[in-house]
Structure 1
Amino acid sequence: MNTDETSLEDRTFETQIPVQVYQRPAGSAAGSDWQELDAGPGIIHLPAGLEFSVRARNLYDETLIQLISDLNKAPEIISLNLAECRNVTNEGIRHLKALPHLTELNLSSCSLTDSGMDELKPFRHLLHLNLSYCNRITNLGLVKLRNLRNLEYLDLQGCVKINRGGLVKIQRRGLMIHK
């Protein structure tokens, strides 16, 4: 196998899960707009010089675990959007640690609780985290996010069990919290 073939192989991933894949120039600011690239299931080709986001819908913990296994082969995927995957629980997100290179993670409206926040601790590179409408997370769970020191944006809109007392415990310079 020559170098070009290896490079091409490194820039693909295959999944049997329906996903949408988005792209933007590598090094774009976190939160920048994504442009649609492709959709699966199937083999997804990831052009060089770009970074990628994957959006999956209607996942369960079991299908999330399979998707994580598929994405683990593509470190160019820096953003994962699981918004409104109401059947994704703490058990499913426990497996996200296999993707420590993520810088953006959207878990809005997933079925997460305070104990699930422990599963986010390995994400040292995380810049944007969306937990909006994860309405079973309380101040106790929120405090577990304190060691995500690179986090620049945290969305807690609709998290009805988080109050000002919890927000004060994680507020710091450089972190924008949307509540």
Structure 2
Amino acid sequence: MSQNPPASVPASFTVNGQPCRHIGDPRRSLLDFLRHDLGLFGTKKGCDHGQCGACTVIVDGRRINSCLTLAVMQDGCQITTVEGLGSPDALSAVQGAFLAHDGFQCGYCTPGQICSATAMIEELAKGWPSHVSADLTDASGADMSSDEELRERMSGNLCRCGAYPNMIAAIREAMQVAR
């Protein structure tokens, strides 16, 4: 008994500033589309269950695990991967700070960490509270840059090598640049 493949579902979006179109299997994850169809290998497949954060990308300004969403669900969205944050000749503030502070060891989680940190800095600038924030109704007066706050906000991105202290130092430097 053979099954017919699912009907193609088109989706159009922008990836790293470039218009892009997905036509194909509607069950394809955003992660697999980015890696296999677009050749953007910075986004890593770690656990493929949304637990490690290696596949973190930024969609419409919010960080998401690309393994947990379908490419067709991003129709009309702006998607940024680590490749879209900077270039070898012009690193983003977060990329430069990760290099300066050795915010990586093996490097496998680094692209997801950098995307997450980039979006997190924007969240902080907007005053978004977190679980650690003292007052979830008014985060404007909270210390949004404590180590505890930064660790909580980055807790969705795991590093098997344990480079967390260097990552926090890198994030602090990138926050200073952003100010």
TM-score by length of 1: 0.29
User: Larger C-alpha radius of gyration, 1 or 2?
Assistant: 2
TM-score by length of 2: 0.29
Q: Name the one with the larger helix percent.
A: 2
